[in-house]
Amino acid sequence: MNIYTIGFEEQLKILREKSTPVENIDDQMIALTLKMIETLDGIGIGLAAPQIGINQRFFVCALDDEAPMVFINPELIETSEELSKYEEGCLSIPDNYGNILRPAHIKVQAWNTRGRPFTLEAGGLMATCIQHEMDHLNGILFIDHMPGKKRDKILKKFQ
């Protein structure tokens, strides 16, 4: 669970992989999602499985004042043409932030921890959180949405 005991290079290898679909929503996996939500408390709003060393397609979003949500095998089914900009950060790339432009509204389909499919329409910070975490499942980091020079500068700091 503690990814901070491995080096950044090693973490980056896991973070750059495309994650595979979850096949069984079992107790162990559900326990992990609860731990992930606990981990976020006060330090962030989203965490994806690759960030804790697991290359499987699930993540949690826990916005202030909203019930935490678990997304398993999520698919973006709609994205708006309208874009919005948020200052993003990532627990895997601590202390670095940047304004990232993404679709302002999205529709996502996923499974919950009871194994039920659901569809969610989201805007604002929730839309950003979902897209940031979905990126993690595809090996993409928020810094990849920055100009190359800025991204490389951030990566260099960790290497």
How far from chain centre, in Å, is Cα 47?
A: 5
Q: Residue 13 or 116: which CB sits closer to Ni ion? A: 13
SS3 of 91, please? coil
- List of residues 6+ apart from 53 with CB closer than 8 A: 1, 3, 6, 11, 14
Taking the complex as a whole, the smallest distance from the CB of residue 135 to Ni ion amounts, in Å, to: 8
CB-nearer residue toward Ni ion: 25 or 61: 61
CB 34 → Ni ion: shortest distance, Å? 19
Which residues have a Cβ under 8 Å from the Cβ of 112 and sit 6 or more positions away? 69, 70, 72, 118
Q: CA angle, 73 as apex, 144 and 52 as ends, to 5°? A: 60
Is 23 considered catalytic here? no
User: Of 69, 62, 133, 144, which is closest to residue 101 (Cα–Cα)?
Assistant: 144
Residue type for position 29: M
Provide the minimum distance between the beta carbon of 46 and Ni ion in the complex, in angstroms, as a whole number.
6
Q: Which is nearer to Ni ion, 29 or 45 (CB)?
A: 45
Residues of this chain that bind Ni ion (CB under 5 A): 90
Q: Which is nearer to Ni ion, 23 or 124 (CB)?
A: 124
Sign of CA dihedral 2, 48, 100, 144: positive
Catalytic residues: 133
